[in-house]
Amino acid sequence: MNNYPMNNHPYNHQHQHSIDESNYVERQMEEDEAGPFSPPPQQFAQSQIPQPFFTQNFQPPQIRARLCSCLGNWGLLGLRRPGQFGRDFWFFPVAIRQNSVTGYIWIGGRRQRVRYGFSQIRNFVCFG
């Protein structure tokens, strides 16, 4: 008699993901397929951006709602503090988590995947 659990039995062996791991793998593939395949809209003058974007600070539930309604579209993301890519930049959200959003920015003619916590975000305006 062996001490292996039944799912590791040689006649019953299959590579099994944990529920969380398989969901993450599936979501990862879906998010990559949902990413932008073209750059964001052309840059425009600061005067064309609604002025409240630069002065209003929204709370995480409001930020989450704005991002949810813009999944799969380009929008302007404003961070509370300047980050690696600046403070205000184009962002393409593809996945909303409990406390964060994953999406893409456009750098050097290519998309780059990034994630921000809602507490890092000051404002978001959808342009899709």
> What is the number of domains present in the chain?
1
100 vs 58: CA distance, rounded Å:
14
In a domain, 100, yes or no: yes
In a domain, 24, yes or no: no
In a domain, 52, yes or no: no
Is 22 exposed, middle or buried (CB count within 10 Å of its CB: 0-12, 13-18, 19+)?
Answer: exposed
In a domain, 86, yes or no: yes
In a domain, 94, yes or no: yes
Listed in order, strand segments (DSSP E) in the chain are: 75-83, 86-96, 100-107, 110-117, 121-126
pLDDT confidence band for 35 (50 / 70 / 90): confident
Range of the domain at 100: 77-128
Under 8 Å CB-to-CB from 41, ≥6 apart: which residues? 74, 90, 127
Are the CB atoms for 125 and 76 separated by under 8 Å?
yes
**Phi, psi (deg, nearest 5) at residue 31:** -65, -45
In a domain, 58, yes or no: no
Residue 18 has pLDDT above 50, yes or no: no
Predicted pLDDT of residue 46: 67
Tens of pLDDT along 37-93? 889 987 666 667 777 777 788 899 999 999 999 999 999 999 999 988 889 899 999
Distance of CA 53 to the CA centre of its chain: 20
In a domain, 66, yes or no: no
116 vs 104: CA distance, rounded Å:
11
In a domain, 85, yes or no: yes
Predicted pLDDT of residue 127: 83
Predicted pLDDT of residue 16: 40
